[in-house]
Structure 1
Amino acid sequence: MIRIHRKQWFGLWLLTVYAWSVQSHAVDLSKVKVADGFSISLYASNLGDAKQLAIGDKGTLFIGTGKSGLIHALVDTNGSGRVNKRYVVAHGLNMPEAIAFYQGDLFVASEKKILRYRDIENNLRRRVRPEEVYKKLPAEVIKSRRAMQFGPDGRLYVSLGVDCNVCEAKPPLGQMLAINIDTGDSEVIAKGIRRVTGFDWSKDNQLWFADLGRNWLGDNLPADEINRVDQVGAHYGFPYFHGKAVKEAAFTKPKGLKVTEPVYELPAHVGPMGLHFYRGHQFPSQYQNQLFVAENGSWNRSSKVGYQVMLLVLESQRVVKRKTMVSFLDSEFPIAQPYSLITAPDGALFISDDFKGRVYRLFYNNNDHQVQDIL
């Protein structure tokens, strides 16, 4: 008789889980406010602390997590707008929220390593042994935050947040790196950042990123930031400056250090975790190539702000308007905490929620409303 240890049973369950149609639990979305012309639906639930998203070449939605230590893979095989096959493709990792998909492979940051799961979409049902492609990440992964995405130049961009509220962090913490995964060579793209989990490239290949401001300066200070990389290696102020005008009392800016100001200031404590340029064609033309921001919401504030998906309208590389697309805040009660955004294969917008472990789908109802000009 073959005996299987309890841990082995758990591993087998994780690696083969969800390869069947999933029945949705009733979720009341009536208190979620959505911009005119748009609707929102639940794509998937029971995902733990769902964080960053990546889309495979075949349309598989991959989801990184934090304390759950899992990487989920979701598939909608019949185009219903609701997942009907789901898998756990990796488990037992240390805070694997930072993920990226590139040329058929899934990349995951865990502890000091970046792992590659080759040909992942053809191996959703069986375990893929990962390869280590980079081993020089800092070990601090609990308080710090990371994000990954491949850039237009084919390098893997990794943001490494600091592990403190405000401090002079030891590099590479507080930096964004571009890593050549073939050679292991890296370049510092940005310095003086605090916690960046959302970054993306505009249609002209310019890198934008959102940065969370420090806590404990009151309800309305400092601003959360939207930044743009106009010069490689520029310093964005942390910990010496917050936003455009708030100086840090505890630290003095080194003489001669040039600080790059944010291109746009968000309200304090909204928590811009996700940032994404919409690349689909389902939304009306005025939304295409515009900037969407997932505001995870406030905790260090007397009344709640954030908990929404915002649109930042750009003209000539300038933010000219900020518009609410989805609000998950019902008075002082959050329905969801949006974390990451990505364009779905059908042109909808996926939104991860690390509060209740869900993924929502924002889509355009062209038969229900005539969309007004967002400008």
Structure 2
Amino acid sequence: MFFIKIMLSGLLLFNAGLAFSQSGRHQDVIKQLQLPPGFRISIFADDVPNARSLALGDNGTVFVGTLDQGYVYAVQDTNRDGIADKRYVIDRDLNMPNGVAYKNGALYVAEVNRIIRYDNISQHLDNPPRPVTIYNKLPSDKHHGWKYLRFGPDNKLYTAVGAPCNICNPPKEIYASLGRLNPDGTGAEIIARGIRNTVGFDWEPVSKALYFTDNGRDYMGDDMPPEEINKWTVKGQHFGFPYCHGGDIPDPEFAGDRECQEFTPPVWKIKAHMAALGMRFYKGKQFPAAYKNQLFVAEHGSWNRTKPQGYRVALIKFSRGKPVLEQPFVSGWLTKADKVLGRPVDVLEMPDGSLLISDDKLGVIYRVTYKK
């Protein structure tokens, strides 16, 4: 049951006074999901429509961005039973607020054309302040316009601007780029180019190197080009778009006289059209030691492949600082009959070492735990 409260700002707040129900409507999906032995998946929050990117705030608060739905949520598990029992609407009617990040008591949200900040948000979940715009010079194109947002080890705010097309030579250098800025919005700079559309990145815990997903272009067939996991190491790197894909596939329309050797190749290739989005290196202690510093990637799933694929969370294993193997970690959202039950978007490690997974199709957040 939800209690409705109208704030002076005109914001409509939904605050769940009872635990989200796990009985009934999504348990049929849970039963279809497969995980390695010892792992269990359950519903953490089951009423978060269009749930996309996740960010961890104070005291276990989870902030949730959305896409077309235009809301930003916060959910809490106040009694620590593994099920969220409170939900707040932080804001609504935003422009594809996909990206969320949290730092020093403030929530940062990336809309299509700007980044905004909600100060002292943890103390005002039930009465959120009006946001402060810290940066408003992002393009307004909605094609690949939704943004991912994370704070790096250098305390800078990282985001990316996708290409405004399936395949094109973007008209401005801001497109198809990875960038960063200071928390107050100053010092914005482009650090890498040639990135078609990344909606997920994280820093490897040991080396602190930045890795990011990149979705390949469409209409080159069911199996080309591959999706990419890239590693950024130095300012000015170019990762190939629109001239080269996967490190060794010249684009049939735009390659011209450009050679793939000119560009930084991916460190790992994922099957075409899997739509790899959010990713996290696991740093917790709940999972077995073999999962320490390994990479979880949400593969949202294909939209125009003859036979669908993806719709899973993959584990990419690293050895000596390099990815060496990819295998399913959570699968079953795509049935044998090619029915799509859900679409994972982002992953988030919680303080207790459990792993949250957002699903924008079902509007839920799952929780993965481990017990021998």
CA separation of 1:9 and 1:61: change in aligned 2, threshold 3 A = closer
Question: Cα distance, 1:22 vs. partner?
Answer: 3.4
CA separation of 1:143 and 1:296: change in aligned 2, threshold 3 A = same
Aligned to 1:297: 301
Give the CA RMSD over aligned residues.
1.9
Q: Quote the Cα distance in structure 2 between the aligned partners of 1:206 and 1:23.
A: 38
Aligned to 1:271: 275
Q: 3-state SS of the aligned residue for 1:17?
A: strand
Aligned to 1:148: 149
Q: Counterparts of 1:304-343 in structure 2 under 5 Å?
A: 304-327=308-331, 328-331=333-336, 332-343=338-349
CA distances 1:182-212 after superposition (whole Å, capped 9, x unpaired):
3611222210001101100011210000100
CA separation of 1:270 and 1:10: change in aligned 2, threshold 3 A = farther
Identity %: 39
Q: Quote the Cα distance in structure 1 between the aligned partners of 2:241 and 2:250.
A: 10
Letter matched to residue 335 of structure 2 = D
Aligned to 1:108: 109
Question: Cα distance, 1:14 vs. partner?
Answer: 5.8
What runs of 5+ residues in structure 2 fail to find an aligned partner?
none
Length-normalised TM-score, structure 1: 0.91
Length-normalised TM-score, structure 2: 0.92
CA distances 1:306-340 after superposition (whole Å, capped 9, x unpaired):
10011111012211111211002211112210000
Q: 3-state SS of the aligned residue for 1:35?
A: coil
Please state if 1:360 is matched with 2:357. Answer: no
Q: Quote the Cα distance in structure 1 between the aligned partners of 2:65 and 2:293.
A: 25
Q: Name whichever of 111-120 and 211-220 sits farther off.
A: 111-120
Q: Quote the Cα distance in structure 1 between the aligned partners of 2:20 and 2:347.
A: 24
Aligned to 1:215: 218
Aligned to 2:176: 174
Q: 3-state SS of the aligned residue for 2:12?
A: helix
Aligned to 2:189: 187
Aligned to 2:87: 86
Q: 3-state SS of the aligned residue for 2:366?
A: strand
On the 8 A contact 1:94/1:110 being kept in 2, the answer is yes
On the 8 A contact 1:64/1:96 being kept in 2, the answer is yes
Letter matched to residue 186 of structure 1 = A
What runs of 5+ residues in structure 1 fail to find an aligned partner?
1-7, 367-375
Letter matched to residue 107 of structure 1 = Y
On the 8 A contact 1:145/1:162 being kept in 2, the answer is no
On the 8 A contact 1:134/1:181 being kept in 2, the answer is no
On the 8 A contact 1:240/1:251 being kept in 2, the answer is yes
Please state if 1:234 is matched with 2:240. Answer: no
Aligned to 2:67: 66
Letter matched to residue 272 of structure 1 = A
Aligned to 1:21: 18
On the 8 A contact 1:15/1:125 being kept in 2, the answer is no
On the 8 A contact 1:32/1:335 being kept in 2, the answer is no
Q: Name whichever of 132-141 and 260-269 sits farther off.
A: 132-141
Please state if 1:205 is matched with 2:205. Answer: no
Letter matched to residue 197 of structure 1 = V
On the 8 A contact 1:144/1:164 being kept in 2, the answer is no
CA distances 1:254-297 after superposition (whole Å, capped 9, x unpaired):
76993000011111111101111112111111101111100000
On the 8 A contact 1:15/1:126 being kept in 2, the answer is no
Q: Quote the Cα distance in structure 2 between the aligned partners of 1:196 and 1:10.
A: 36
Q: 3-state SS of the aligned residue for 1:126?
A: coil
- Give the aligned length: 359
On the 8 A contact 1:74/1:83 being kept in 2, the answer is yes
On the 8 A contact 1:192/1:237 being kept in 2, the answer is yes
Q: Quote the Cα distance in structure 2 between the aligned partners of 1:159 and 1:48.
A: 24
Q: Quote the Cα distance in structure 1 between the aligned partners of 2:109 and 2:324.
A: 35
Question: Cα distance, 1:253 vs. partner?
Answer: 5.5
CA separation of 1:281 and 1:223: change in aligned 2, threshold 3 A = same
Q: 3-state SS of the aligned residue for 2:225?
A: coil
